Amino acid sequence: MAKVLKKTTGLTGLAVCEYPREKLRIIYDRILRVIVHFPKDYVYRKAVEDLAKERKNIIEQNEDVAVIEQKIGQGQIEEVIISAQGELSLIQDMLSQKPWENLMEQAPPNQWAWPPHK
Establish if 108 belongs to a structural domain: no
Examine the pLDDT at 102 and tell me if it is beyond 60.
Answer: yes
* pTM above threshold 0.85: no
104 burial class (0-12, 13-18, 19+ CB within 10 angstroms)?
Answer: exposed
Mean pLDDT of 31-55: 97
Report pLDDT for 88. Answer: 97
Confidence of residue 8 (pLDDT cuts 50, 70, 90): confident
Tally the domains of the chain. 1
Establish if 69 belongs to a structural domain: yes
Establish if 109 belongs to a structural domain: no
Establish if 7 belongs to a structural domain: no
Mean pLDDT of 13-23: 81
Establish if 60 belongs to a structural domain: yes
Q: Domain residues for 74?
A: 20-97
Establish if 68 belongs to a structural domain: yes
